[in-house]
Amino acid sequence: MVRIGLLTSGGDCQALNATMRGVVKGLANNVDQLEVYGFMNGYKGLIYGDYRMLTSQDFSGILTRGGTILGTSRQPFKLMRTPDENGLDKVDAMKQNYYKLRLDCLVILGGNGTQKTANLLREEGLNIIHLPKTIDNDISGTDMTFGFYSAVNIAAEAIDCIHTTASSHNRVFIVEVMGHKVGWLTLYAGIASGADVILIPEIPYDIDKIISAINKRKERGSGFTILAVAEGAIPKKIAALPKKEMKKEMAKILEKYPSISYKIAEDIQKETGLEIRVTVPGHTQRGGSPCPYDRILSTRIGSEAAKLILEKNFGYMVALVNGKIKKVPLEDVAGKLKGVDPECQEIADAKRMGISFGD
């Protein structure tokens, strides 16, 4: 008999169901008896004992279904050690529910914050396996997170659509791509869709450089320009400030504009007089079906998680490393953000193609 718990936490993404299916199928085919408990709405379900026993029926037909059959929520890591409004110690509560169900392992699907709590539960003695999900691809220790390529497809498609209308009207267009802290999604979607300017948090931008990229295109006869801008793009002048001041200055901008893209649009418009529009695909980037790449990655990650459970190998994140599925100790990676290296090959290649990063 094997008893496992499953939970999905943090922002959702496209291949959560596909990954859980991989885990459960990988176990069901290799043990006589399997009990699967699904905790509802992220860590909340584990804290407050909101769970249900899942059957093979629950995992049938979900390879292609986006979202998560368990629901999810954001539970900030910094509040995990803080008792709730009724004085309940959340970490104790999670441990009690784990032991009450006599789980052999808790499989946790989530991003950076989720991973930190997963590692905390590991330190508290629970058998944990973490599976790296996020459209942001910002988890250390894995080359790829599931959800990322599905989101790249959606963001790139949005930019493709903008391309045709931008060229018809000779307009400058900003497409704002998700990613407050890291620019992987913007970088990949921007390259995939032929954006002319790509702005990511890791490379603070100089507005004059962006304007000169637009003017250069005009001189060469291209009347339109497409900018792929990450939510977390930051002006060079502000990025150079001490952290506290930097946050204050960014907060001032976000008080005045719905997002940084609108500030960039206004700055370009003032300087060039060109017609400019902003498009924000927003949460569509996390929605819909996982792309085939993510379905395969998720199936491989889920299958490896099943193998680790059968071997009683706990305390790991399942990762993709140089094309191979590997186990990485949770303690080595928990809480480490994987940003884009401004010197990386993708950026060097893109710059050679004439893409401006505003630096």
Which positions lie near ligand F6P, rule CB under 6 A?
Answer: 11, 111, 134-136, 178-180, 231, 286
Among residues 27 and 175, whose Cβ is nearest to ligand F6P?
175
Q: Is 11 annotated as a binding residue?
A: yes
CB of 332 to ligand F6P, least distance (A): 22
Q: H helices within the chain, ranges in order?
A: 16-28, 43-48, 90-100, 112-123, 148-169, 184-192, 207-219, 236-239, 243-256, 260-272, 292-310, 330-333, 345-352
> How far apart are alpha carbons 151 and 136 in whole angstroms?
9
Residue 280 Cβ vs ligand F6P, minimum distance, rounded to whole Å: 12
Write down the least CB distance from residue 50 to ligand F6P, Å.
Answer: 21
Which residues lie across from 230 on neighbouring strands? 177
What distance in Å separates the CA atoms of residue 28 and residue 294, rounded to the nearest whole number?
22
286 labeled binding residue: yes
- What residue type is assigned to position 14 of the chain? Q
Annotated catalytic residues are 136
Q: Which residue's CB is nearer to ligand F6P, number 26 or number 179?
A: 179
CB atoms within 10 A of CB 65: 17
Three-class DSSP category at 114: helix
Spatial distance between the Cα atoms of 283 and 257, rounded to a whole number of angstroms: 19
Residue facing ligand F6P at closest CB distance: 178
Contacts of 74 (CB under 8 A, 6+ apart): 9, 10, 11, 42, 113
**Is 113 labeled as ligand-binding?**
yes
Residues in the chain: 359
Comparison of 89 and 143: residue with beta carbon closer to ligand F6P: 143
- Is 160 annotated in a binding site? The answer is no
Q: Is 322 left (phi over 0), alpha (psi -120 to 50) or beta?
A: left
What letter does residue 125 receive in the DSSP assignment?
T
Q: What does the DSSP 8-state code read for residue 354? A: T
Q: Is 102 annotated as a binding residue?
A: no
Which of 119, 134 has the CB closer to ligand F6P? Answer: 134
Closer Cβ to ligand F6P, 98 or 146, answer by number: 146
* Cβ 111 to ligand F6P shortest distance, Å: 6
Least Å distance between CB 306 and ligand F6P?
26
Question: Taking the chain, what is the end-to-end CA distance rounded to the nearest angstrom?
Answer: 58
For 96, other C-beta atoms within 10 Å of its C-beta total: 14
Tell whether residue 111 is among the known ligand binding residues. Answer: yes
Q: Judged by CB, which is closer to ligand F6P: 136, or 202? A: 136
68 is in an annotated binding site: no
Shortest reach from residue 262's CB to ligand F6P, in Å:
16
Q: Which of 156, 195, 175, 168 is nearest to 277 (CA)?
A: 175
Q: Which residues are annotated as a binding site for substrate?
A: 134-136, 171, 178-180, 231, 277, 283-286
Q: Which residues are annotated as a binding site?
A: 11, 74-75, 111-114, 134-136, 171, 178-180, 231, 277, 283-286
Q: Which residues are annotated as a binding site for ATP?
A: 11, 74-75, 111-114
Q: Which residues are annotated as a binding site for Mg(2+)?
A: 112
